[in-house]
């Protein structure tokens, strides 16, 4: 045996204990993931069982009715698509432009920090508060009435903070060496942003936009306040028409006592999920397109 | 490389500084440096980390403008015209004085697009294919990439990426090329190729290279400036500076006693 060495002997590697800790941690993480997935599967299976039987082309193309078996979701589906399109149209350019200004132009001083803090706070404001704001400003102040336009503008305000923050993060993730390379070639600030920074940030910006818009499509509370209707026997023909959205329709049917309405509510939920999935698919395709050109 | 043997002793000045200082807040990174850079020569800036050599280099194409809080005092002239004078657009300065960075930083686009970008934003109206080929040939990269110009620049090796960055800088036809430790992220073979390239390029361009590597300065440059703590300690023909330094600090540094 060698003589005791106080430095070498002061280690206690305990490989077994550390190995066990590592295995337990891995198991816990897997368990957490499995729990979430399981909950989602159970939820989907339950809704599918209730609603799949009521799904049909007629269900998509019919207006609501007093009779569950004749009722459809045409106005809700059309309203949701209107809201989605208009909200995307307003929020994307506004949000990305704000993020560009904050990241690339704004001086780093007290004012920009104040704006930044406020945006973060606005992201945490309950959606119903935006509904009250929308009612006061768009429906009454600007006299847009209980229209698709007023609803879309309200949801634009609702998702803007989250959209701005995620776009900012995507822009910030572009390495500064890329900006320096462009400037060193005589690029202006706008050429640098437009031709180098934005293309690199676009996948991240699109992901944030999609997540925000998905949230907008699922919102009910602010739209109740701006006047989405529960029973709508028409589809909007223009941005100033009245409207309903799928979550409103689902809420209306769920709150009725008859079981037959609960079944078509489940079917409407399936349609809403399908819309969201299709929408996310478009986002993934767009993102892949941008990532490939790199 | 016998560069110093072929270089005539004098050449017209292309860039000159007079009492140039760069301050970050109240700390001076460059202190009242006056230096003249001759046309179509290679000038090396050497010195320990933090001595101000990169900061001095960035004054020549106004890249310090992009550093928040950096202030430039004194004069820098390019062909006698004040680079910091009123009405001078840094964008035009950077077109005529190109730059290559420490780490290769190609755009995440195709090889072709990397070279074409600078020309495009500067309103180049000639034949783009020819320009790309000419620039890549000048940067000794054409033969390696001519069959895959549409491939991503990020698929190239580090040394190839750095030569692509040189080609990209050459594509806008600058007069001066600033190189900020262009080989510090590269292996010895890639480094040697860049050094050979620098030697070839000086027939058309003035090159100012910042380097940590004294052997590199000795190999590639005609004149060497030794900077220490923001001061220009010694500036002269490379041969003289390395074999017969005038200042004690220079001798201590090049013999490896500090830095």
Q: Which residues lie below 8 Å from residue B183, measured CB to CB, with a gap of 6+?
A: B162, B190, B191, B194, B195, B211, B213, B216
Query: Which residues in chain B are contacts of A185 at CB distance < 8 A?
Result: 94-95, 98, 117-118, 121-122, 168-169, 172
* Shortest Cα–Cα distance, B65 to chain A (Å): 11
State yes or no: pLDDT of A243 exceeds 90.
no
Spatial separation of the C-alpha atoms in residues A216 and A236, rounded to whole Å: 18
What ipTM score was computed for the predicted complex, to two decimals?
0.90
**In this complex, do B66 and A195 lie within 8 Å of one another by their Cβ atoms?**
no
pLDDT tens across A112-133, in order? 899 999 999 998 888 888 888 8
- Looking at residue B4, what is its pLDDT? 47
- Looking at residue B3, what is its pLDDT? 46
* Shortest Cα–Cα distance, A131 to chain B (Å): 41
- Looking at residue A70, what is its pLDDT? 76
- Looking at residue B2, what is its pLDDT? 45
State yes or no: pLDDT of A228 exceeds 90.
no
Q: Which residues lie below 8 Å from residue A102, measured CB to CB, with a gap of 6+?
A: A112, A115, A116, A164, A168
**pLDDT band at A11; cut points 50, 70, 90:** confident
**In this complex, do B122 and A180 lie within 8 Å of one another by their Cβ atoms?**
no
Query: Which residues in chain B are contacts of A103 at CB distance < 8 A?
Result: none
State yes or no: pLDDT of A168 exceeds 50.
yes
For chain B positions 143-162, those within 8 Å of chain A (CB to CB) are: 152, 154
Interface check for B118 against chain A (CB to CB < 8 A): the answer is yes
Interface check for A109 against chain B (CB to CB < 8 A): the answer is no
Spatial separation of the C-alpha atoms in residues B60 and A65, rounded to whole Å: 76
| Torsion, Cα of A94, A95, A96, A99 (10° steps) | 120
Structure tokens at A113: 């920090």
Chain A: residue whose CA lies nearest to B65: A183
**In this complex, do A185 and B122 lie within 8 Å of one another by their Cβ atoms?**
yes
Spatial separation of the C-alpha atoms in residues B140 and B155, rounded to whole Å: 17
Spatial separation of the C-alpha atoms in residues A80 and B40, rounded to whole Å: 67
| Pair A78, A91: CB distance under 8 Å | no
**Span A7-25, average pLDDT:** 88
Spatial separation of the C-alpha atoms in residues A197 and A173, rounded to whole Å: 9
pLDDT tens across A181-219, in order? 999 999 999 999 999 999 999 988 988 898 888 888 888
Second-level CATH architecture of A62-293: Orthogonal Bundle (1.10)
State yes or no: pLDDT of A230 exceeds 70.
no
Q: Which residues lie below 8 Å from residue B106, measured CB to CB, with a gap of 6+?
A: A181, B114, B153, B154, B156, B161, B164, B165, B168
List domains and CATH numbers for chain B.
3-106+175-254 (3.40.50.300)
State yes or no: pLDDT of A101 exceeds 70.
yes
Interface check for A1 against chain B (CB to CB < 8 A): the answer is no
- Looking at residue B182, what is its pLDDT? 93
**If you search the block for the tokens 């990209």, which residue do you land on?**
B168
Q: Alpha helix locations (H) across B16-66?
A: 53-59
Q: Where are the domains positioned within chain A?
A: 62-293
**In this complex, do A185 and B61 lie within 8 Å of one another by their Cβ atoms?**
no
State yes or no: pLDDT of A90 exceeds 90.
yes
- Looking at residue B209, what is its pLDDT? 96
Interface check for A294 against chain B (CB to CB < 8 A): the answer is yes
Q: Which residues lie below 8 Å from residue A258, measured CB to CB, with a gap of 6+?
A: A68
**pLDDT band at A1; cut points 50, 70, 90:** low
Percentage of the residues of chain B whose pLDDT score is greater than 90: 79
* Shortest Cα–Cα distance, B18 to chain A (Å): 23
What 3-state DSSP class applies to A32?
helix
Interface-testing mutation among B115, B118, B151, B173, with chain A (most A C-beta atoms within 10 A): B118
State yes or no: pLDDT of A86 exceeds 60.
yes
Q: Which residues lie below 8 Å from residue B93, measured CB to CB, with a gap of 6+?
A: B61, B62, B78, B83
Interface check for A259 against chain B (CB to CB < 8 A): the answer is no
pLDDT tens across A19-76, in order? 999 999 999 999 999 999 999 999 999 889 888 877 877 777 777 777 767 777 878 8
Give pLDDT < 70 ranges for chain B. Answer: 1-10, 259
Spatial separation of the C-alpha atoms in residues A27 and A23, rounded to whole Å: 6
- Please give the span between the terminal C-alpha atoms of chain B, in angstroms, as a whole number: 25
């Amino acid at each position: 045996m060698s003589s005791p060495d106080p430095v070498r002997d002061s280690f206690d590697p305990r490989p077994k204990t550390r190995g066990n800790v590592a295995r337990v941690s891995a198991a816990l993480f897997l368990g957490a993931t499995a729990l979430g997935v399981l909950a989602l599967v159970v939820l989907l299976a339950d809704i599918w069982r209730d609603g799949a039987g009521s799904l049909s082309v007629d269900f998509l193309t019919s207006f609501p009715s007093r009779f569950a078996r004749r009722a459809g979701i045409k106005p809700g589906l059309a309203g949701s698509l209107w809201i989605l399109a208009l909200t995307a149209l307003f929020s994307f350019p506004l949000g990305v432009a704000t993020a560009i200004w904050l990241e690339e132009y704004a001086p780093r001083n007290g004012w920009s920090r104040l704006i930044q803090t406020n945006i973060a706070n606005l992201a945490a404001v309950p959606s119903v508060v935006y509904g009250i704001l929308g009612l006061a400003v768009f429906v009454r102040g600007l006299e847009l009435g209980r229209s698709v336009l007023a609803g879309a503008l309200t949801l634009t305000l609702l998702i803007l903070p989250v959209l701005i923050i995620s776009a900012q993060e995507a822009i910030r993730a572009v390495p500064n060496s890329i900006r320096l390379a462009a400037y060193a070639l005589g690029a202006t600030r706008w050429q640098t942003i437009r031709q180098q920074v934005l293309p690199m940030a676009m996948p991240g910006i699109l992901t944030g936009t999609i997540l925000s818009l998905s949230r907008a499509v699922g919102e009910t509370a602010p739209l109740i306040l701006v006047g989405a209707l529960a029973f709508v026997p028409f589809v909007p023909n223009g941005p100033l028409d009245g409207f309903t959205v799928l979550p409103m329709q689902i809420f209306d049917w769920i709150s009725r006592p008859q079981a037959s309405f609960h079944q078509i509510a489940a079917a409407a939920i399936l349609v809403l999920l399908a819309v969201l999935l299709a929408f996310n698919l478009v986002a993934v395709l767009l993102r892949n397109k941008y990532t490939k050109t790199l | 490389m016998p560069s110093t043997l072929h270089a005539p002793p004098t050449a017209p000045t292309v860039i000159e500084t007079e009492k140039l200082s760069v301050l970050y807040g109240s700390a001076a990174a460059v202190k009242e440096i006056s230096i003249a850079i001759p046309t179509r020569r290679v000038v090396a800036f050497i010195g320990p980390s933090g001595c101000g050599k990169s900061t001095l280099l960035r004054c020549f194409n106004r890249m310090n403008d992009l550093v928040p809080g950096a202030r430039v005092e004194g004069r820098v002239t390019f062909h006698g015209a004040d680079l910091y004078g009123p009405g001078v657009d840094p964008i035009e300065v950077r077109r005529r004085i190109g730059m290559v960075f420490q780490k290769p930083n190609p755009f995440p686009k195709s090889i072709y697009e990397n070279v074409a970008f600078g020309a495009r934003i500067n309103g180049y109206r000639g034949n783009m294919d020819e320009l790309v080929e000419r620039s890549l040939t000048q940067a000794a990269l054409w033969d390696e990439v001519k069959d895959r110009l549409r491939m991503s620049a990020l698929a190239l090796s580090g040394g190839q990426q750095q030569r692509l960055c040189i080609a990209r800088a050459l594509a806008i036809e600058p007069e001066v090329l600033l190189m900020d430790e262009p080989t510090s992220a590269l292996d010895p073979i890639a480094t040697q190729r860049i050094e050979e390239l620098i030697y070839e390029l000086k027939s058309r361009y003035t090159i100012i290279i910042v380097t940590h590597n004294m052997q590199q300065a000795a190999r590639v440059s005609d004149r060497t400036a030794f900077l220490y703590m923001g001061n220009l300690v010694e500036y002269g023909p490379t041969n003289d500076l390395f074999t017969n330094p005038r200042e004690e600090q220079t001798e201590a540094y090049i013999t490896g006693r500090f830095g």
